[in-house]
A and B are shown apart, each in its own frame.
Chain A
Amino acid sequence: MQYSQKVLDHFMHPHNVGKMEKPDATATEGSPSCGDQVTVYLKVNEGNKVIEDISFLSYGCASNIATASIITDLAKGKTLDQAKEITWRDAMEALDGLPPVKVHCSVLAADTLQTAISNYEIAHGLKEVPNFSKDTIVEELKKIIYPQVGEDIVSLKMVKYVGFTDGEVLIDMNMMSFDSWRDNIAEEIHEHLEKYPEVKKIQINFP
């Protein structure tokens, strides 16, 4: 599958690109080792909580740049509560779709936006730092896309069991031994969970 014309347009002429001076909140997600990293900057009206300005920087491929560009378009002018509803599926739809192997880029863009909003809310006393629990793990697993079909591994029922005891995460996966994406998925699970200080050990079991 090729990139849509919308992806190419946003890649070649991204909207809201560039570093913001004195943002009210910022977030960086992804890592150079995965080949993609996005930073989102927010300016929020303290009174009505509207995102008045938003910009991004992206280290990554064409779809990484395009999804970051579209996510800033979708969020601009929205209240924080409205922006919290924006998902990677919205970004993908707004770009007229993405090749399955590139869907993870839209997840990264949406995730970075959500983290920036969360950082704003925490800094302004609008919410508490959430407790780490099994739900946090499941939410993180929902951000991991199976590249073959472009859907997340939770929706695809590839996660059979999630446990969390004494800092140890236990995940039972439902992926065949001949599935060539097993290593990629395992790596991604580590990347998503290792950023939490509560996680001391991750055990992933494949059949």
Chain B
Amino acid sequence: MRPGKIYLDNCVSTPLAPEVMDAMLPYFMQKFWFPGSFISTGESTNDALAGFSATVAKSIGAKPEEIHFTSGGTLANNIAIKGLATALKRGHVIVSVVDYPDLLTNAAWLEKQGFEVSYLGADSKARIDLDQLKAEIRPDTVLFMTTAVNHVVGTIQPLQEIHEILAAAPNKIFFHVDACQAYGKMPLDVNTYGIDTMSISAHKIHGPQGIGALYTRKGTKLGQLIHGVKRVNGLQTGGLSIALIAGFAKAVELSFADLEGSIKHLRDLSNYLYTKLQEKIEHIELNGAEGEGRAPHNINISIDYIEGEAITMMLDLHGITVATGSACASQGLKANYVLMAIGKNHVQSHGSMKFTLNRFNTKEDLDFTVEKLAEITDELRKRSPLYNAMKKQEK
């Protein structure tokens, strides 16, 4: 057993960067003040907030006033989708079957409110079907939403093509993007892609948990979802954690100081991991897009003939955290819906392993992980009737 843990489930959350901690500390005890007018405490917080908003806005090509801090990605998605629905009242919405649960559960809610929803399919790499998107657009289509980077297999959705399709429609179709997995992993300029609303989250980029933001294009009308005291603007009712926002802004600074370099570093690490996996373990396949078509931090593979919960449990005993799409590891005992939607069979879904990396992971971490995973795979395959049957057939 090595000291410490190797955490390879960074699509869920990442460790805080030390600089982020330093940036937050003064705002917990000395400068904890809420925004306000004419007195020094309130004004200094106004100034600080303006600076933090500008930092976050710049990272996506937005204006500071278009950034609304939220408690995280899910609240941002809800304020955008439910806010648009409240303002629009009725219409047709398009989403895809491989989207993040935030979007799919909101789509189900929209249906209950009387909206009609079309669900796009996806190809074997989890890229959404653009021909179907074109075909589904109707005169009353009001909203299209997508997950920029698929949360399971890491495939990047074709935002440019989507933008062109939506822009060519005769009516205005709002474009909402859940970018929580994509943010800091690829360039995301809201003007390039004509995005109207977009959710981002701090703790996926070494920022603090409990803070995210919603980008809302100037002029976009969102119905009020949460009513209460207004401290900054209409969407941000209630209190704000100035310390968490300070941490978020610092995490953005660190991630975007050299975005290209950071992407390259993550891609080098994930390529290294995938090469090692292929070298050391037989009968595996990559899930999702290849090469540049996937987010630089995500490698998702299926290991044939064995089941993922058993694998993750054994890796955990070695101090290694990874995720699986196995039904046995899920709350609802269901195989992962994204993997099933892109045509994987049950065994491929049950045996799927998702490795998501962060910038602090090292090649040594990955070497140790692959070494242990290879041993575990051998052991579990010896116990597996499916593997024994395959071996018998080979003979």
Interfacial residues, chain A to chain B (CB-CB below 8 A): 11-12, 14, 17-19, 28, 32-39, 57-62, 64-65, 101, 147, 180-181, 184
Contacts and interface: CB of A to CB of B under 8 A. Distances in A.
Interface stretch (B51-59, B191-199, B302-310): B302-310
Interface string B43-77: 00000000000000000000000000000000000
A59 B313 contact: no
A58 B385 contact: yes
A18 B379 CA distance: 11
Contacts, number: 71
What is the predominant secondary structure among interface residues of chain A facing chain B? mixed
A11 B346 contact: no
A33 B314 CA distance: 22
Given A18-B382, A35-B327, A35-B335, 17 more contacts: A11-B310, A11-B313, A12-B314, A17-B383, A18-B383, A28-B385, A32-B346, A34-B346, A35-B333, A35-B350, A58-B384, A59-B307, A59-B384, A61-B307, A61-B309, A184-B332, A184-B334
Interface string B236-273: 00000000000000000000000000000000000000
Contact of A57 (B307, B350, B383): B383
A28 to B, nearest CB: 6
Contacts of B333: 35, 101, 147, 184
Contact of A60 (B310, B314, B387, B388): B310
Nearest to B346: A33
Contact of A35 (B328, B332, B383): B328
Interface residues of B, number: 26
B345 to A, nearest CB: 8
A19 B305 CA distance: 15
A180 B332 CA distance: 8
Given A61-B310, A62-B310, A32 B386 contact: yes
Nearest to B329: A61
Given A32-B346, A101-B333, A12 B328 contact: no
A28 B369 CA distance: 33
Contact of A37 (B309, B317, B332, B385): B385
Interface in B294-352: 305-307, 309-310, 313-314, 317, 326-329, 332-335, 346-347, 350
A62 B384 CA distance: 12
A63 B280 CA distance: 27
Nearest to A3: B313
Contacts of A57: 383-385, 388
Contacts of A34: 327, 346
B383 A32 contact: no
A64 B332 contact: no
B309 A32 contact: no
A60 B307 contact: yes
Interface in B336-395: 346-347, 350, 382-388
Contacts of B332: 180-181, 184
Given A35-B327, A37-B385, A59-B384, A64 B307 contact: yes
B327 A65 contact: no
B328 A64 contact: yes
A101 B329 CA distance: 10
20 contacts: A17-B383, A18-B382, A19-B388, A32-B346, A34-B327, A35-B307, A37-B385, A37-B386, A38-B385, A57-B388, A59-B307, A59-B384, A60-B328, A61-B307, A61-B310, A61-B329, A62-B310, A65-B383, A180-B332, A181-B332
